[in-house]
Structure 1
Amino acid sequence: MKKIFLLCFSLVCLTADIIMDVVSEQEVLPKIRITTSSLVNFDFDKVIKNDVLVSSKFEITNENNANYELNYNLNPVGNNYELSITLKGMNNEIKYNNTFTYPKSAYVFLSHKAISQMFKDLKLADLDWMNKKILITRKIAAKQSQILIADYTLNYQKIIMQGGLNLFAKWANSNQNEFYYTDYNKDILSIYKYNLLNNQKTLITQGSGMLALSDISKDGTKALITKTIEDQPEIFLLDLNTKNTKRLTMYKGIDVSARFVGSDSFAFVSDRSSYPNLYLQGLDKTNATQLVYHGKNNSAFSVYNNYIVYSSREKSGDFNLYVMATDSQYVRQLTLNGRNIFPNFSSDGKTIMFIKLLGMQSSLGILRLDENKVYHFPLKVGKISTLDW
């Protein structure tokens, strides 16, 4: 069987203050000063400042004459933390006041919850993507991997599964209480659904060679999977209720990593161009249309409605991110240098998470599309095989 292209990425812990790249000329933002009367002895201050900064709506300052002041107070209450926040404008006018609670074990989500809710209540921005958990499969040794859950800064990490080789973890629903993954520990590969509420797994389908679930339909009833047939990886449509499959691609080569585009099409990676490239095909059709005509390795992508963000290798050897529309000629370059790989749209399509490699530094990037800003969280060395948001 032809060599199947799989990508490994570097990870995985927030180790320094956030780094910001401005990728185009920016508007002047109002200044905000963040203060606290909290006596809790850990660096919650950096977490809440990162959330405000990544909102792209304020410039954080220590000056007393800032336009706004955000004061927070964090207190332990049993197994939870209680966070009170107050936003003041000029002349100490109170603009917002609220209190939130969250388990101590995942305190970073308390900041995400409070800041996103404040911005929503004030109609400044929708930051609900901050509350989403990232599902990561990470290789730690030969035939050994971990599946873990993290927040978007990677400051929170919880290992869910380890021991053996379990890959291609994918959220099963928007509630993020179940996920699919492939068990590679036996000759016959298996896709399971894992329930985080009761720690039970359910067998979905089996195969050999290569087997991976890459996307779920919006109604949760169907999935796109890559499965080896006749010694080649092909794309199949799997009915999650009946477990019946329908073969979608017939190419004598490599077809992998399919994602739904709307309700009647899917995009996927294929070597039909003699290198990994993106193609679009209808669910009830057999002809595929090439989507990208530049770069020589377009093998990682994400879909939001009719938009696709993808990583493309340039002549310089850099990998840059581009976003395109499947129903027009619209293409926009998002990054300028380094190796920008493995992009993932947020649930609202306005933010993109990706891995950036520049020289010896590795970072998780958060790209805010409307604001034209990129934020990098430096990473420690490790290997990620997949991310899902």
Structure 2
Amino acid sequence: MILLSLFFFMMCGNKLWAEDKTIMITKETDNIPNIQVVSVDGNENTMKIYKMLVQDLRVMGHFNVYYDDTLRTNVLQNNLALQDYRNKNMNFIAQISHKKQGDTITGILTLYDFSNNQQVSLEYTQDEVEKYPFIAHAMATYLNEYIKAADISWINRYVIFSSYLGSAKNSIVISDYTYTYQKTIISNGLNVFPKWANSKQTEFYYTLITDEATIYKYNMYNGENTRIISSQGMAVVSDVSQDGTKLLMSLAPVGLSDVFLYETQTKKTTQLTNYSGIDVNAHFMNNEKSFAFVSDRLGYPNVFIQDLKPNANVTQLVFQGKNNSTLSTFGQYVVYSSRESDEETGLNVFNLYLVSSQSDYARRLSKIGTNRIPKFSSDGDSIMYLRQDKGENAIGIIRLSINKSFLFPLKNIKIQAFDW
């Protein structure tokens, strides 16, 4: 039995209990249902969807997942096979098949629920065969909703990243969360720091660097490219408010960079910090009433917090580590990357930590390798990050509520920045 420790704190103003993400969040997993995933045949497209679905279900953590790549039988048409799975205490069977017409691919999920002898068949279609991961992601989302588990819809979202191609060349690429599907959106130039402009992922901001740094907004559906603002030095959109009307930017019109607030409807720019050194990477916090950012005010990069007002008081938020240069926020929480010495080798590594603006405790999230650029998921329960270990690069996913991590190897990709 896997034992996980679960702690709660009482929310102010009511008697609801909420999960404190800085504590080691774990829970009993004996009661999650068992699911057997099978494929109808060994067709390449069927097996791609099948394997991706198995992976999705494992990442979700809401099923005990059983699978066998050698199974090629249409089990739901075989009563003896059904009884055999019932005897093995399976709660569900998920059978995968597909059909293809031209470039269009349709994945078919047939679910058998032993608890009520119910059989459900659903189809999911994508207009490109290469988009098969999103078929599996949609199936996993349905299965998760079927058992009324905690929302996991972030697996359906696009990741957007800038990929290094060579000297002064970066492309902007979209992918699924496993980086299996990839499509280049912008190329030809030094295109960096992509950031989704809204929750629907219809537009994104990015920086084009020529003689100066210029922020643009790109429309995914009509290809419209709108100039937002330029700076002789740095110009980066580091965060976007939930309604998309406010941007936190790192700009350096004169000297080194400061944090600026940009209002998209009025195009008004307000300077929030005014420091002789470097202030960058600002992210909204606490219902967008404040923001966390990285500054070298202590002589090294560290994380600070300030109210969303010009030149308001600045408070140190992180008291651990001597090089805390990348961060992401969700509500009152900050996840950041900290340089420290490896306990075994003595070499410098970067590990991830989670802190809250309501306490000084830091929860360590990683132990091995160099872990950088953490990003919260849209629901705050998962963290994506870049990991390098022994010369190999991977994308990592940390699932806070189930206290598990997953790695997806990156092949022939050099990621400069990403958002999801």
TM-score by length of 1: 0.88
Distance 1:153 1:66, change over 3 A: farther
Moved more, 296-305 or 79-88: 79-88
Which residue in the other structure is 1:322 paired with?
353
Q: Map 1:154-165; keep pairs closer than 5 Å.
A: 154-165=179-190
CA-CA distance at 1:263 after TM superposition: 2.2
1:319 and 1:96 map into 2 onto residues whose CA distance is 47
Q: Is the 8 A contact 1:275 1:297 kept in 2?
A: yes
Does the CA-based 8 Å contact 1:322-1:333 persist in structure 2? yes
CA shift for structure 1 position 250 = 1.1
CA contact (8 A) 1:363 1:379 kept: yes
2:35 counterpart of 1:32: yes
Task: Supply the distance in 2 between the matched residues of 1:53 and 1:249 (Cα, whole angstroms).
Answer: 43
Partner of 1:266: 291
Does the Cα contact within 8 Å between 1:96 and 1:118 map onto a contact in 2? Answer: no
Sort the Cα spacing of 1:91 and 1:251 in 2 relative to 1 into closer, same or farther, 3 A.
closer
Gaps of at least 5 residues in structure 2 are 1-24, 69-84, 343-347
CA contact (8 A) 1:86 1:94 kept: no
Could you tell me which residue of structure 2 aligns to residue 178 of structure 1? 203
What's the offset of the Cα at 1:385? Answer: 1.2
Shift of 1:276: 1.0
Q: Which residue of 2 aligns with 1:357?
A: 388
Distance of 1:91 and 1:224 partners within structure 2: 50
Q: Is 1:247 the equivalent of 2:271?
A: yes
Deviations along 1:226-280, one digit per CA (max 9) or x if unpaired, are: 1114311111111212222111111110111111112221111111121111110
1:307, CA displacement in angstroms?
A: 1.0
Q: Indicate the residue corresponding to 1:86 in structure 2.
A: 110
Partner of 2:170: 145
Tell me how far 1:41 sits from its aligned partner: 2.4
Shift of 1:305: 1.1
Cα offsets for 1:65-111 (capped at 9, x unmatched): 35132112211145432222123344893365432222234121111
1:290-305 alignment runs, 5 A limit: 290-305=316-331
Give 1:362 deviation, angstroms: 1.7
How far apart are the structure 1 equivalents of 2:389 and 2:42?
38
Q: Secondary structure at the match of 1:126?
A: coil
Between 353-362 and 31-40, the greater mean CA deviation after superposition: 31-40
Farther-moved stretch of structure 1 (339-348 vs 31-40) = 31-40
CA offset digits 1:323-355 (Å, max 9, x no partner): 111123343211222211111111011111111
For the residues of structure 1 that align with 2:140 and 2:67, how far apart are their CA atoms? 19
Task: Measure how far apart 1:165 and its partner are.
Answer: 0.4
Rounded to whole Å, the distance in 2 between the matches of 1:40 and 1:381 is 27
* Residue 53 of structure 1: how far off its partner (Å): 1.2
1:1-389, aligned counterparts within 5 Å? 27-28=29-30, 30-38=33-41, 40-42=43-45, 43-62=48-67, 65=88, 67=90, 68-90=92-114, 93-94=117-118, 96-104=120-128, 105-185=130-210, 187-261=211-285, 262-284=287-309, 285-316=311-342, 317-389=348-420
Q: Which has the larger radius of gyration?
A: 2
Alpha-carbon deviation of 1:25? 9.0
- Cα distance in 2 between the residues matched to 1:91 and 1:119: 16
Work out the number of aligned pairs and report it.
367
Give the distance between the partners of 1:258 and 1:50, measured in 2 at CA: 33
* CA spacing shift, 1:386–1:45, aligned 2, 3 Å: same
Query: What is the CA-CA distance between 1:306 and the residue it aligns to?
Result: 1.1
Q: Give yes or no for contact 2:54–2:67 (8 Å, CA) kept in 1.
A: no
**How far does residue 60 in structure 1 lie from its aligned partner after superposition?**
2.8
- Aligned partners of 1:295 and 1:315 also within 8 Å: no
Q: 1:92/1:38 Cα in 2 relative to 1: closer, same or farther (>3 Å)?
A: farther
Contact 1:24 1:373 in 2 (8 A): no
Is the 1:232–1:252 contact (alpha carbons within 8 Å) kept by the matching residues of 2? yes
Distance 1:236 1:56, change over 3 A: same
TM-score by length of 2: 0.82
Q: How far apart are 1:209 and its partner, in Å?
A: 1.3
Amino acid at match of 1:302: S
> Which structure is higher in RCO with an 8 Å CA cutoff and minimum separation 6?
1
SS of 1:146 mapped into structure 2? strand
Q: Alignment partner of 2:402: what SS? A: coil
3-state DSSP class of the match of 1:232? coil
Unmatched tracts of structure 1, length 5 or more: 1-22
Coordinate RMSD, CA, aligned: 2.2
What corresponds to 1:19 in structure 2?
A: none
CA deviation map 1:114-145 (0-9, x unaligned): 21122113202311000010010111111000
Please give the secondary structure, in 1, of the residue aligned with 2:341. Answer: coil
Further displaced range: 97-106 or 157-166? 97-106
For 1:120 and 1:329, the matched residues in 2 are separated by 36
